[in-house]
Amino acid sequence: MAIRNIREDGDEILKKTAREVDKIDERIQILIDDMIDTMHALNGVGLAAQQVGVLKRIVVIDLYDDKGVLVLINPEIIKEKGTQEVDEGCLSFPNQFAKIIRPKEVEVEALDRNGKKIKVKAKDLLAQAISHEVDHLKGITFVEKIIPGTLQYIEPENK
């Protein structure tokens, strides 16, 4: 398992549409493990494969609760309900945060890392994270959805 480099603002891959995963093989499993390690190393809540330079429809999400990491392969949001105004950032846009409107609830169909079909009903932060990461798979970044006047730059702490 390895920490991969995060593609940042200006990298063309962030604007591209990810391709479906047609076979979950050892390479995909290694990619998933690397994505989880990378997300955890950077204290992220979610990560899409594009963000590590791979155009595959894979996302990982961890709310750091007792449920562990959610792996979604070829996710499709099939239902959205309500809206919520949320504070949001992105590992590909370091130190930038803004307010965004996201669905309050989503229902997503995907494959888990073993290829089993799953359906996840999510609300609040999990719905936000799923929406954010699925947007990445479509080449849409959070900065395209910012509520005008809410973008903030936070200076990183010196380590």
Q: How far apart are CA 126 and CA 121, in angstroms?
A: 9
- Confidence band (pLDDT; 50, 70, 90) for 158? low
DSSP conformation class of 130: H
At residue 155, the pLDDT reads 84
pLDDT at 159 over 60: no
The beta-carbon contacts of 143-146 under 8 Å, at least 24 apart in sequence, are 143/9, 143/90, 143/93, 143/96, 143/98, 145/100, 145/101, 146/98, 146/99, 146/100
Average per-residue pLDDT in the chain?
96
Pairing of the two strands 93-111 and 117-123: antiparallel
- The residues spanned by each domain of the chain are 12-153
Catalytic residue among 133, 144, 155, 157: 133
**pLDDT band, residue 156 (cuts 50/70/90):** confident
What is the mean predicted confidence (pLDDT) over 105-117? 98
Q: Is the pLDDT of residue 28 over 80?
A: yes
pLDDT the model gives residue 157:
72
Q: What is the pLDDT of residue 9?
A: 94
Whether the pLDDT of residue 130 is over 80: the answer is yes
| Residue 144 designated active-site | no
Average of per-residue pLDDT across 116-140: 98
Closest CA to 127 of 62, 80, 57: 80
Q: What fold, for 12-153?
A: Peptide Deformylase (3.90.45)
- For 61-80, letters b (16+ CB in 10 Å) and e give bbbeeeeebbbbbbbebeee
Determine the average pLDDT of the residues in 114-142: 98
Q: How far is CA 16 from the centre of its chain?
A: 15
Q: Is the pLDDT of residue 54 over 90?
A: yes
pLDDT at 152 over 90: yes
